[in-house]
Chain A
């Protein structure tokens, strides 16, 4: 909605989170978004709302209060089991028109990246993707949205001065959830989903969920990633062993994925996933720029390589010079 005067602007109040739903379960990124929403609402003395779309009522909606929500708006409809972009967008637009939130946050997941832009265009408001920081401009009260551009080479600070709500997406693993307080209370509101012609747009024939669902790179606190130097699919078994021992996840460079040593889901970098993990251990990864942009924001970067002069070994916090086939088994024994 385009805003023409201050009175119009003041009608928009709450900070909303669009809950990330996975087969009627609330995905953990929702709690991270709530952490960010809570901080914004506290600053502006407003309330935090969560929108939950599902086919049947979620198990613990009151958990959302513990993680910072003041109200939870639940829309249930049997058709909302799979992800229907057009229908969900229409429902949320109606809720936005009714309740007038000032800010709407969504996950930059495959679902959020399809749903949120559709809402933003139809609701005529600004949207910033993949924000790494969110704050409030002291003077205008506008949302300040920081996002990386050009593969992480520039940080742009963006605002939408004349449109409400202000919308932003955030990747999983970027924001922090608050320590849950299970004594916090809130309000649950049930809204009806009027599904009209939107439902005709899409029919989900089947949903395939991969069995090997251990690839959770964006949530992992430690990532063991392999590149060309891992030399083959067997080499990745070694990395898996270390990952199992440290409670981490296994990542890979494009070279390793393109060689067929490990599936695409593990790929980190410009054409794979972007991670900001606690500890990133790069094993035999030379450090092409496309890989570096996908992991350079990790807190501690460790590289293991025979060649001390690769870009990865030079950018790492700790560079271990040596044969990964000897060092990793030794490391597995040490921890």
Chain B
């Protein structure tokens, strides 16, 4: 079995500080890390490899320094890694990004399963996973919380819904995106770390994956960012309520009535 895991390097928001004035995250100087959801994708691939034997290949599209995330995945047990990096890829939206990743998966060849994290924490779109499936015309299952079993033709998964989950058999080859409930990612072993230091990570350019230059980068992307602006700031001051619990409750109940927030039948 051949498994490809798609990962992305993102800014580390868990170290972020809040600007006291705008009450928004200060993004300057944030370290780059592997997208947290992708760690579950890597772990699930390695578990499948341990259970039924598989080759695990990690790929990422990004700047050359994104190699670090790929090495991290190798230190955890991935067999090899490929970086898709070129100026021509820059500015790709989710359509173009999923196109580039799908072309790389085609080049790798004979891939049975593609695993992605459910979404990246910087863009938050959750569009690249199903986008890859669409480009390759693979079956797909999103928000997978458990892989029950795999055979040569199918993978049985539990995929999450708002109010429950579906158990489905998905025809291979397929793309699945995983949520954090699926597993508990491991930490790398010393041996793994050494292996990841030594491994050679090839860089693939558009011509290596036979990508149509008109479908990649800013010009190949259907969507354009026209402009960005700060979100509407919360301009109100904080009103502080102190005193006995009864007094606090009285004032608060008063405010809730004014705001018309109470819709319960008990009033």
Residues of A within 8 A of B (CB): 2, 22, 82-83, 85-86, 89, 109-111, 113-115, 117-122, 124-130, 144, 148-163, 200-210, 213, 215, 221-222, 244-248, 264, 270-271, 278-279, 289-290, 292-293, 296-297, 299-300, 302, 308, 311, 313-323, 326-327, 329-331, 333-335
Contact = CB atoms under 8 A, between A and B. Distances in A.
B166 interface: yes
Interface in B114-134: 121-131, 133-134
Q: Interface on chain A toward B: helix, strand, loop, or mixed SS?
A: mixed
B79 interface: no
Contacts, number: 284
B228 A157 contact: yes
A331 B240 contact: no
B29 interface: no
B234 interface: yes
A158 B156 contact: no
Given A327-B245, A334-B249, A149 B228 contact: yes
Please give me the 3 A-B residue pairs with the lowest Cβ-Cβ distance, nearest first.
A126-B222, A247-B264, A330-B249
Nearest to A243: B264
Contacts of A221: 261, 263
A157 B11 CA distance: 21
7 contacts: A117-B134, A126-B95, A155-B229, A158-B223, A222-B256, A270-B121, A331-B252
A26 to B, nearest CB: 15
Given A208-B167, A289-B25, A246 B135 contact: no
Given A158-B226, A201-B139, A321 B241 contact: yes
Given A121-B135, A318-B238, A129 B227 contact: no
B119 to A, nearest CB: 8
Contacts of A163: 222
A210 B169 contact: no
Given A117-B127, A330-B248, A319 B239 contact: yes
Contacts of B16: 289
Interface stretch (B52-60, B140-148, B199-207): B140-148
A311 B18 contact: yes
